[in-house]
């Protein structure tokens, strides 16, 4: 078992026939033609975001307003 933390290193190791790997979709761009990819998940991608603030922040109504605007924008821009 070989481990590494660099996606580029993993891609080169697979290209040199040193094993197989699971990669995020974005890491699959610019792969050599000798590498075959197989999608293993069929769900829609998503990203979770958080609005972070101090618990003693004095203007909590501002945070609520910012949250409402972000939710509205994100809901309107979803495919």
- Of residues 68 and 11, which shows the higher confidence score? 68
- Of residues 24 and 42, which shows the higher confidence score? 24
pLDDT of residue 2: 63
pLDDT of residue 78: 65
pLDDT (tens digit, 9 = 90+) per residue, 40-69? 777 777 778 888 888 888 998 999 999 999
DSSP the chain: ----S-HHHHHHHHHTTS------GGGGTT--TT--------SPP---------TT-S-HHHHHHHHHHHHHHHHHH--
Contact 7, 23 (CB under 8 A): yes
């Amino acid at each position: 078992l070989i481990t590494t933390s660099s996606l580029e290193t993993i891609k080169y190791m697979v290209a040199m026939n040193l094993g197989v790997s699971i990669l995020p979709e974005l890491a699959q761009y610019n792969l050599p033609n000798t590498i075959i990819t197989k999608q293993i998940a069929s769900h829609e991608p998503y990203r979770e975001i958080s609005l972070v603030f101090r618990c003693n922040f004095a203007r909590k109504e501002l945070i609520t307003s910012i949250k409402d605007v972000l939710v509205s924008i994100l809901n309107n821009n979803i495919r």
